[in-house]
Structures are given as structure tokens and as C-alpha cells.
A and B are shown apart, each in its own frame.
Chain A
Amino acid sequence: MNRSFYDETHTVFGEHKSKILQWIFSVDHKRIALLYSGVMFTLFFFAVGAALTMRAELFFPGQQLIEAQTYNQTFTFHGVTMIFLFVVPGIAAALGNFMLPLMLGARDLSFPRLNLLSWWLYIIGVITALSSLMTAHGFADTGWTFYAPYSLKTETSVIFTLSAAFILGLSSILTGINFVVTIHRLRAPGMDFFKMPLFVWGLYSTAWIQVLATPVVGITLLLVILERTLGIGIFDPTKGGDPILFEHLFWIYSHPAVYLMILPGFGIVSEVLPVFSRRTIFGYRSIALSSASIAGIGYLVWGHHMFTSGISDLARIIFSFLTFLVAIPTGVKIFDWIATLYKGSIILATPMLWILGSIINFTIGGLTGVVLGALGTDIHLHDTYFVVAHFHYTILGGVIFMFIGGLHYWYPKITGKLYDEVRGRIAFILMFVGFNMLWFPMFIAGFLGNPRRYFDYLPTFSIYHQIAGIGAVLVASGLLFVLYNFYKGVKEGKKAGANPWNGTTLEWHIPSPPPLENFSKIPYVDFDPYEYEKGEAVVKFDENFRRIH
């Protein structure tokens, strides 16, 4: 029996007897990926708990469960946790960390110790954020956007949250650097940029956003911290500062950040579709380059968050126009994916279901995004539930669905076992139906004028909130079912073997779970990532990683 990375590992310093130390000091990218996943999903479930609390409060108009102020802190906790602690590290830190070296034919990332440092910084950030739940003034109540001047004035412990976001930003930057260098330096011989799997392209674009956008928000949050501690005055109107400037700087990062969340997800879609249609991906180059151009144009559109905050008409028109431009590369991808499915032999296995579901959800989320990018309609819809529905469609319905799809897809590689297909499908259906019940009514409520960030609403909106409430319960049970299925799979699943899905990319050519340092011999890669002929993978290797076909 082969020894896998679960049996042996490298650590930063020395040998450790204790299993725990072997994990938290391991520099193996696969172990670090699992560490990230464990902590991230724990936090995800906390944030879902907060969401359910809000949904329960919103089930009837008027106040039942929690007070207005507590509601404000709850949606801030929910937003901050989901965004900064969960989805920003997200797919890249969890699946990306695990898969990147495997897909490139490398033995680790370029800087394994830096990778571990990123994780530790992440943990410090998490602790900083959570500790303010215990302080006297409680968790911040500013919303996840920390808009000045309110964030300068609120009594709550906003400094903790800001510092946490700052530290997490640092962690994210270091991961970005690591990924960019790895992709440039450690591709297997022969693999040029256009022979890389598309998930790698997604990670690559993401990594550049992490590196170039995160420092802007980092310094901005630092300025708010300095304002609160020393009274610097940059964003405080009573001292000559300009709060609108805060919004600009915040969104200069936070808009690109939404692409940082979705691009690895798009990458997963592009991996799963060819494998479960047994067909080469359609338009490889256009998918790869659209990732890069989304990352590029994404820098120039931040103003669409500020159509109602006092920017000039000219600026508003330009930002609106640029926002439409981003829709083009995104549309290109969606067409490519549909063309890949066309005449493929589609296998509706669980990962495929999640991915197809995510494409449907994301299309709705993306198109409503165009509605919001249009100047006229946004003035009406800004700060209503329409916006909240839009971004939940893109993030929860898009990113998280893709993430879960990716987890199912690579589950056999990571654990070496198979999960139960039937349970997997039931969980998907629960979640897909629940999700659409949860967020579709909110488009209507928002369109009719229900504002966001309130614990209460007019009784006419009850029906929408009640459907959403039921949807939320379905979503939560779907999530728990996924978890249960994964747990059962590890306990009693069948052995997966190296390549249960008939995949073509390099990770499917090594044992599951992979050994320490992944590849005994490095393959030579002079072929495209997704080659199928009559439903069979074309490329085959012998045990020494020499091509036999």
C-alpha cells in the first residue's frame, strides 16, 4: 500500500511526535489546504447560523427575536464572516492550495513556508475578529462595508473587525504571491500557459487581484483605525476629511474582490464540464483570456457602488458603461460552457449537478447585476433587497455552489474514498430549491421597495419574507446533508482509485490520496488539458510518468 500525505509530512522545524503539531506546522500544501477548509467551513456555519437568526426575525413583521441593534450586529457579523473569513480566502486557499501543484505537475508551491505563514495569519485574523464578540461593546454594527463617518463614531468594537480584515488581507496577499510565482516557475516541462488547466487560469487571475487590490483596502482600513485611535482626520468631515473618499478606496478593492471570489469558481466549472460531458472544452483560449480580462476590467468599475453617494454625472456614466463591459467576457464564458455541453455525453453525477445549478444561479445573478449597473435603475434599486438578492445569487448561488461542486469533484482525490451518489443528489436538490425560494422573492420585495439592513418591514412584504424563511431552512438542511454525506464517505465509502471520473488533468494520474510531494517523477506535458476521443481520455502515462499514448 502506498503511503499518502496523511501518513507522513514535512514541518517547518524538526520532527514532531504529536499528530496535532504535525498538522499545524506542516508545510505540505495539501495539509495546509485541509487546515484552511476546516476552519473556513466552521466559520461558514457560524455565519449561516447568524443568517438563520435574521431570517427567523424577519419571518413576521415587527420585532420578535432580536432587537434592532442586535440585528445590525448580526448582519455585520454575517457579512464580515462570509466575506473576509470565508469567501475571500475561499476556493483559492482551500481547493486551490490543494490542487494547484497537482495540476501543474509540481511537488509543492514555490514557498511552502510562506504558505504556512499565510494560514497562521489567517488564524490570527479569525481570532481577532471573533474576540470582539466577547468585548463589552460587542461586534461591529457598521455592515461589512465599514462606511465612514459612522465607522468612526460607532460605540461597538469596530477596531477589532478592522484589524482582523487588515491581517486577513496580509494573509491573502501572501497566498497571491505564492500562487503567481508557482504558476510562473513550477509548471511541468512542456506545459506552456495555454496548456494549463482552466482552474489554474482562474487561480492565476485571482492571485493578481489579491496582490494588487488588497493593499488598497488594507491601508484604507488602517486609516480608519488610526482615525479612531489617534484622530488623524482623513475621512472625518469635521476635520476636513472626506467620507466619500473612503467609499472610493473601499470599493477599489472590494469590487475586484468579487471577481477574486468568483474566478476560481469559474475555473471549477471549466474543469467539471468537460469531464462530465466527455468532451474537450469549447473555446479554451477565450475562457482563459476572459478570466484575465475580467480581472483587468474589474479594476475600473468600482464606482457602480456609489451611484447614489455624490459623484459627478460624468463619472457615473463612465462607471455605468464600464460595468456593462465586464458582462462581455463573463457572457463569453457562459456561451463557451453551453457549447461544451452541446452534443456531449452528459453524465449527471453530483459534481455536475452542482455546476449546472451554479451556472443557472449565476446567470440570474449576473443579469440582475447588469440591471444594477444601469444608472437609472440603480437609483431606484440601490440599498434595497434587490441588491442583496443579486449578490447572494452570485456568491451563494454561484461561488458557493461551484465550491461545493468542486469539493464533490475532488473529494475522491482528497480522501481516497467515494461519497454516496444518492445522498449527494438529494442534498443538491434541497439546496437548489431552497436557495431559489430563499432569494428569488427578495428580488421582488426589493423591486417593490423593501430596503436592506432593517430588522423590520411593512406587512405587505410578509409573504416574500416567509417564503424566504422556508427556503433558508431548506438551504441549511441541504448544507448539513452535504456534510453528513462527506462524513459518511470518509467512514464507509468505497475506495476511489486514482481516477474515478475519467478525468484528464494531471491530478488524476497520481494515487488518491496523493503521496507526500505528489509526483515520484515529473511528467512532460505537451498536450492540451482536456483531450477526449469517443468519450475516453486520450493521454495515458505508465508508472514512471512516461506517456504511453
Chain B
Amino acid sequence: MENELAYDVQGKGHPVSDYKDDYNGEKFGFWIFLFTEGMMFGALFLIFAIYFYRNMEVFASASSELNIWLGGINTVILLVSTYTMGVASIMMRQGKTKLSAILVGITLLMAVIFLAIKASEWSVDITQGIYPGSEILLKKDKGEILFFGLYFVMTGLHGLHIIGGIALMTWVLLLIRSGGIREDHTIVMKNVTLYWDFVHLIWIVLFPLFYMIGV
């Protein structure tokens, strides 16, 4: 039912927008979803700010226990990966499907590397006995318990979003193969790119909060 019209009293036709294949609607909906995500992380940042304000020194010294190099490398990886994802999305709109798919693949790979580094960081902490509820951590200062509590919650939640991103990009690759994403039908890709930007943005805030306040 292409270009359906609604007629006014004078008999003039006005185009009707339909719920099927509504590009702007889908984009707008995804933005609102990201607002929601923003509010969720926002609440966590608020909690962080309050406890940081109350335990500045302890937070700073706890922060210096984290490996800023690994965190830094991860920041760079995410930065580059949003770039490749963004370019992939542009290439798709220009019809360069193959190149676009390769770029998505590279992004995906970087996401996996990010996760691997993050996992190695966590496992070092855990083998040193630093994890929520551990005997060693509970003996330390209360500020430190809070710092690491927040650290695991916030990077963990962010990590879940990375995993979500990996799933989404795999889906994008499948859609590119099946023709579900093509030059004139890029909404899914557009939204996944947006999502990936968001995940990166959250990390950009997390990194200084956890790794750099101790420098």
C-alpha cells in the first residue's frame, strides 16, 4: 500500500505514515531506548559520585591498584572500534556491502579482545582475593569495599553490554548475508552503530572514574 493518502474536505490528499518500515520511527525508538540506558548508568554514576565524595582518599588509593595500562589499551580499542563500526555503516549506505561486512567483522573482533583483556584484569583481582564479599576485601577500609563493589558492578554491567554488542554485530553480519540489511535498508545497522557508540561513551566515563583518579 504505497503512498496511501488521507483526503480532507476539499478533496486534497495527504500522505499517511504507516507502522510498517518506518525508518524514522525505528531510529527515534532506539534513541529513546538509549535514554533509558543512560538513566540506568546515570544512577550508577550518581552513586559513584556520592561515595567518592565521602571517601576521596581511599577511592584514589584503591584506584591506583588497578592496571591503568590495561584499562588504557581497552579505551583505545573501543575508540577504534566505534570508528570501524561507523565507517561500516557509511559503506553500507554507499552500497559497498562486502567492505562493510569486513569492517563489522573487525569491530566484532575488537570487542572480543576488549572482553578478553577485561576478563584477565578481573581474574587477577579475584586471585588476589579482591571480589565482592571476600574475606580479604571485607577486612579493608569501607571506602575500598565500596570502590571495588562499584568497580565490579559497573564494569560488569558494561561488559554485559559489550557481550550484547557482540551478539548484535553477529546478527548484523547474518542480516547482511541474507540481504536483510542492504543499501536501501540500513536501519538495523544504523541502530547497532548507535548502540556501539553508546557503549563506548559509557566506557569513556568509566575509565577515568576507576583508573585515573588514583594517578
Contact = CB atoms under 8 A, between A and B. Distances in A.
A547 B9 contact: yes
Contacts of A240: 51, 55, 142-143, 145-146
A245 interface: yes
A110 interface: yes
B132 interface: yes
A110 B22 contact: yes
Interface in A403-421: none
Contacts of A547: 8-9
B25 A173 contact: no
Contacts of B35: 211-212
Contact of A181 (B25, B149, B153): B25
B204 interface: no
Interface string B163-180: 000000000000000000
Q: Which among B32, B50, B143 has the greatest number of chain A C-beta atoms within 10 A? A: B32
Q: Which 4 A-B pairs have the closest CB atoms?
A: A240-B142, A231-B133, A189-B14, A215-B40
A177 B29 contact: yes
Interface residues of A, number: 52
B24 interface: yes
Interface in A503-526: 521-524, 526
A216 B43 contact: yes
A185 interface: yes
18 contacts: A108-B19, A111-B19, A177-B32, A181-B25, A181-B29, A185-B17, A189-B14, A189-B16, A226-B153, A231-B132, A231-B133, A232-B149, A232-B153, A239-B138, A239-B142, A245-B47, A524-B14, A546-B11
Contacts of A109: 19
Contact of A239 (B17, B18, B36, B146): B146
B198 interface: no
A190 B44 contact: no
A311 to B, nearest CB: 13
A230 interface: yes
A74 B42 CA distance: 34
Interface string B6-38: 111101001111110010111011001101110
A37 B123 CA distance: 48
Nearest to B134: A231
A184 interface: yes
A249 B28 contact: no
B70 interface: no
Contact of B4 (A212, A230, A522): A522
Interface in B138-191: 138, 142-143, 145-146, 149-150, 152-153
B73 interface: no
B39 interface: yes
A233 interface: yes
A450 interface: no
Contacts of B138: 239
A270 B18 CA distance: 28
B6 A188 contact: yes
A211 B32 contact: yes
A219 B15 contact: no
Contacts of A241: 146, 149
Given A108-B19, A234-B149, A219 B7 contact: no
Contacts of A188: 6, 16
B25 A230 contact: no
A245 B50 contact: yes
A233 B146 contact: yes
A106 B16 CA distance: 9
Contacts of A212: 35-36, 39
A176 B152 CA distance: 30
A218 B16 contact: no
Contacts of A252: 43
Nearest to B156: A226
A375 to B, nearest CB: 24
Contacts of A216: 39-40, 42-43
Contacts of A111: 19, 26, 29
A436 interface: no
Nearest to A107: B19
A112 interface: yes
A211 B34 CA distance: 10
Contacts of B25: 110, 181, 184-186
B4 to A, nearest CB: 7
B22 A173 contact: no
A320 interface: no
Given A111-B19, A212-B35, A223-B47, 11 more contacts: A109-B19, A178-B29, A180-B28, A188-B16, A189-B16, A215-B36, A218-B40, A219-B40, A232-B152, A240-B143, A545-B6
Contact of B32 (A180, A186, A545): A180
Interface string B100-144: 000000000000000000000000000000001100001000110
Contact of B22 (A176, A185, A226, A230): A185
B14 A233 contact: no
A239 to B, nearest CB: 5
A220 interface: yes
A214 interface: yes
A521 B1 CA distance: 11
Nearest to B144: A240
Interface string A164-182: 0000000001001110111
Interface in A93-123: 105-112
A319 B148 CA distance: 33
Contacts of B150: 234
A256 to B, nearest CB: 11
Contacts of B152: 230, 232
Contacts of B47: 223, 234, 245, 249
Contacts of A107: 18-19
